[in-house]
Amino acid sequence: MKLFGHICMSLHRAESSMRWAILWALLGLSVAQHDPHVRQGRTAIVHLFEWRWVDIADECERFLGPNGFGGVQISPPNEHIVLNNPWRPWWQRYQPVSYNLCSRSGNESELSDMITRCNNVGVNIYVDAVINHMCGGAGGEGTHSSCGTWFSASTKNFPSVPYSSWDFNDHKCRTGSGEIENYGDAYQVRDCRLVGLLDLALEKNYVRDKVAEFMNKLIDLGVAGFRVDACKHMWPGDLAAIYGRLHNLSNKWFPDGSRPFVYQEVIDLGGESITSGEYSHLGRVTEFKYGAKLGTVFRKWQGEKLYYTRNWGEGWGFMPTGNAVVFVDNHDNQRGHGAGGASIITFWDSRLYKMAVGYMLAHPYGVTRVMSSFRWNRHIVNGKDQNDWMGPPSHSDGSTKPVPINPDQTCGDGWVCEHRWRQIKNMVIFRNVVNGQPHSNWWDNQGNQVAFGRGDRGFIVFNNDDWDLDVTLNTGMPSGTYCDVISGQKEGDRCTGKQIHVRGDGHADFRISNRDGDPFVAIHAESKL
């Protein structure tokens, strides 16, 4: 009996050790998946929404690499439904019919070439991964898809994966319609159809394997990670099982053992049945409260003032900075979809937008993502944009137009290219220069004029009041003459904009008219003349 007891004790200890080993392994994977693996001191991601792969490759080489952008979020690369509509809605990209890598942005060869060319200039690629569902059940059947693959949404038959009716969640959904009817019920949100989209049964190992196979193909091509779409509609345990199947990043461009960066779309403005915190152990999470609150502050709605942002970040009830991906707007909420409502600032309000993006890029909270959009024909009726569905600039056959670059470095043909605006591009560089430095030397007028530094590497001043700012502030920076990177930029040994003179005690005089086109000023260590 004593021998049996020793054996049982040994087995118990072995089991316990194994459980702890598995736990620590999973913890190690999840911590690693918070790292965007940006290279060469880069810090910001740009979402080139609906760009073609050939245009992204060119943009990496001619603009993003030279200007210090850390990575590009690309639109979903999977084969998707094609709707017979002259403008081909943007959201058809979010209705997969297979995991073939041919979309309206280009084919697999063009995708692979883009990933290689961007990696070669230090710009990572992050894939918008649609893994919660396939196309809508009303999608019919046929070959109306971006690769011409046959599918039948009505019978849940997607032979190119392959998926059949056995691989969807209809048997689990507890609503009569099969749709999400109550967002207060977490089971409905995760087991029923989101706006008619066929909900995949991710608890099945077969489905998990097919999803991981799709993501691993992209990892092997050289992508650095994924923005995972619609995560609140998937159980965290299912996602953990999929992420655990993913390969390490390619050691051609990333250190051995690097895990893919994962940032998960979870809309959580508070009071939700599903919270962002349920997913943060798996990777970073999109902090939707950030853009909604920042928009309210810069619009001066609900009595908000810019000086209230002295404790911006966790002090405003946001998730811990190490878990967050932040943005002023995204492809959903700039159209009134998703989260944030009318407070969201977009390129349509360019003066406020440049200030808000400038604030985001100057502040140390979170991993930042800049939006790069296309225009559409807005038609507002009762506060709702009737044309919010319109797809990217397209030819008469529905194919996406290339992105032309104008002589002044802006974009044409309906492409907005906010990331190319001088003020935003220069603030991406600012963020790189001040990376790792503390939020410091705060000043405010108890209204909408504020300033703060980033250690001794950068300083920024905002005037969002209806009167002029004229003040002397401690910048915390070494003495010298600096070029303001908002009104202009340093070119050789000259400045094309305002010059700021920092005295030996670190103080400088700032004058910003409320009538200025861009009522803010930013200087950094590398803008010193």
C-alpha–C-alpha distance, residues 399 and 105, integer Å: 9
**pLDDT, position 421:** 98
Structure tokens that stand for 445 in this block: 């007028």
Cβ atoms < 10 Å from Cβ of 412: 13
The pLDDT value recorded for residue 432 is: 98
Does residue 126 contact residue 143 with C-beta atoms inside 8 Å? no
Residue 346 to residue 353: CA distance in whole angstroms = 6
Give the pLDDT of residue 7. Answer: 37
Considering 55, 265, 287, 418, which one is annotated as catalytic? Answer: 265
pLDDT in tens, the chain (529 residues): 443 344 344 434 445 555 544 444 545 556 779 999 999 899 999 999 999 999 999 999 999 999 999 999 999 999 999 987 656 899 999 999 999 999 999 999 999 999 999 999 999 999 999 999 999 988 889 999 999 999 999 999 999 999 999 999 999 999 999 999 999 999 999 999 999 999 999 999 999 999 999 999 999 999 999 999 999 999 999 999 999 999 999 999 999 999 999 999 999 999 889 999 999 999 999 999 999 999 999 999 999 999 999 999 999 999 999 999 999 999 988 987 777 788 999 999 999 999 999 999 999 999 999 999 999 887 778 777 777 778 899 998 889 999 999 999 999 999 999 999 999 999 999 999 999 999 999 999 999 999 999 999 999 999 999 999 999 999 999 999 999 999 999 999 999 999 999 999 999 999 999 999 999 999 999 999 9
* pLDDT (0 to 100) of residue 29: 54
The answer to whether 147 and 91 are in contact (CB under 8 A) is no
pTM, entire model: 0.93
Q: Are strands 439-444 and 449-454 parallel, antiparallel or unpaired?
A: antiparallel
Q: Which amino acid is at 12?
A: H
Sequence-distant (6+) residues with CB within 8 A of 359 are 294, 298, 309, 460, 462
Helix (H) or strand (E) holding 521: strand 520-524
User: Where are the extended beta strands (E) located within 265-377?
Assistant: 284-286, 324-326, 367-372
Per-residue confidence (pLDDT) for residue 28, from 0 to 100: 55
**Which 3-state string (H, E, C) describes 453-522?**
EECCCEEEEEECCCCCEEEEEECCCCCEEEECCCCCCEECCEECCCEEEECCCCEEEEEECCCCCCCEEE
Phi and psi at residue 197, in whole multiples of 5°?
-75, 135
pLDDT at site 18: 54
Whole-number Å distance between alpha carbons of 62 and 262: 27
What single-letter amino acid sits at 470? D
Q: Residue 110 catalytic?
A: no
What is the per-residue pLDDT for 6?
A: 43
Residue 9's pLDDT is 42
Reduced to 3 states (helix: H, G, I; strand: E, B; else coil), residue 492 is coil
Give the pair of three-digit tokens for residue 379. 């038609």
Residues in the chain: 529
Residue of 79, 110, 229, 304 marked active site? 229
Cα angle 136, 274, 33; round to 5: 85
The pLDDT value recorded for residue 14 is 47
> Any alpha helices (H) in 33-148, and if so which ranges?
53-59, 108-120
**Residue 229 annotated in active site:** yes
Cα(276)–Cα(232) distance, integer angstroms = 8
